[in-house]
Amino acid sequence: MFAPTSEAELSEVVAGLSAAVRVLGGGTRGFVRGGDDVLSVAKLSGVSLYEPGALTLVAAAGTPLSEVETMLAGEGQRLAFEPMDHRVLLGTAGEPTLGGAVSANVSGPRRVAVGACRDFALGVRFVDGTGRVLMNGGRVMKNVTGYDLVKLLSGSYGTLGVLSEVSLKVLPVPETELTLVLDGQDCSQAVAAMSEALGSPYEVTGAAHVSGKTYLRLEGFEAAVRERFGKLRSALKAHGEGGEIGAEASVKLWRDIRDVRGLSEHGFVAKTSLRPSAQPAMLAALNEAFEVQVQLDWGGGLAWVGADMDNANAQDLLMFLQDYSAKSGGHTTLIKGPDVGPVFQPETAGVARLSDAVRQKFDPLKRLNPNLMSASS
């Protein structure tokens, strides 16, 4: 295992590689597979700049997320994109890192309201597959100077470069939160209710459907949240009575939704990202053919599909989800389960060609996570 302790050392290590490596942060997210040697960034750690008044934080890629979150909480701030803790679902051990969250563009329930992890990434420093130390973006919130490689690196799973440092925009923690719950809905009714809620002016910051219950989160100043809660409840009357979940229980509920705790017992878990209105038809067809458990997030835009089945059936299930996604213009990623097919959604020929060519520019020798994302030509 390689475990460089500085960016310069990381650059030397990568430049000196004679074979491919698996790039890891805390190794909790389970994406990186295969038998290659490990390159860990866990020892590149520490927050180098935090300006609460500018809503900006800069830290080394291996900094534990918990350390970042504790520091932000001290100033009443947080990572608004609500990164999932994969340990709950995957049963992995270790410490999730900031670089890992950015590399996998891990975005939780609040994505539907405030944006994904990549939308909060302001700058990156990284080492490409040849050992060059590169930077893009910076630490300011508005920056259109040159091409935006920050978005490209976010969600590239270490295939373009090894992150050494990231700058993020952070946001204040609201005074309080309340959740409206609608009971006894099927997926189709849930998507309709969530769409109506997200289309209302009441600033819903979470819209999920778990085990027949639909949850809608409101955050903000106490009095305002209370007022919006009342308005949202009456606006959604046609969808059911609507119960209330208070702040403390709400925080816990959304942490479980974020971590997909409800599906953690399943051996197979995939996530399917479609436009919300396409999801009910997909789920109806899915339920016809397979026995699955489903959790919806992002107002229906994201379906988590859990199942327990033998490998042959799991392969059919993954193929079903990826075929359906291809037809309706979305994608499916395998999050947990045996090696039964492509982890990532196969891309159309044109996009695959461009992606491969981009990858070739960053990592011409195929040193970094070569088995991840689209197969390189």
Contacting another protein within 43-82 (CB under 8 A): 51-56, 75-76
| Crossing angle for the helix pair 279-289 and 311-327, to the nearest 10 degrees | 150
CB of 53: closest distance to another protein in angstroms? 3
Contacting another protein within 311-370 (CB under 8 A): 325, 329-333, 344-345, 347-348, 350-352, 354-355, 357-359, 361-362
CB nearer to another protein: give 3 or 235. 235
CB of 52: closest distance to another protein in angstroms? 5
Q: 135-143: which pairs have CB atoms within 8 A and are 24 or more residues apart? A: 137/167, 138/167, 139/49, 139/56, 139/58, 139/167, 140/56, 141/55, 141/56, 141/169
CB nearer to another protein: give 55 or 90. 55
Whole-number Å distance between alpha carbons of 2 and 10: 9
Contacting another protein within 244-273 (CB under 8 A): 273
Does position 375 interact with another protein (CB under 8 A)? The reply is no
Contact 292/307 with Cβ under 8 angstroms?
yes
Q: Count residues contacting another protein (CB under 8 A)? A: 93
CB of 184: closest distance to another protein in angstroms? 21
- Number of alpha carbons in the 13 Å side-chain half-sphere of residue 216: 33
- What SS3 class is residue 153? helix
Does position 304 interact with another protein (CB under 8 A)? The reply is no
Whole-number Å distance between alpha carbons of 190 and 183: 9
Contacting another protein within 188-227 (CB under 8 A): 191-192, 195, 198-203, 220-221, 223-224, 227
Q: State the burial class of residue 313 (Cβ atoms within 10 Å of its Cβ: 0-12, 13-18, 19+).
A: middle
Residue choice 3, 15, 36, 118 for contact with another protein (CB under 8 A): 118
CB nearer to another protein: give 64 or 206. 206
Residue choice 29, 86, 110, 111 for contact with another protein (CB under 8 A): 111
Does position 156 interact with another protein (CB under 8 A)? The reply is yes
Residue choice 47, 171, 251, 365 for contact with another protein (CB under 8 A): 171
Contact 104/155 with Cβ under 8 angstroms?
yes
- What SS3 class is residue 57? strand
- What SS3 class is residue 187? helix
CB of 294: closest distance to another protein in angstroms? 17
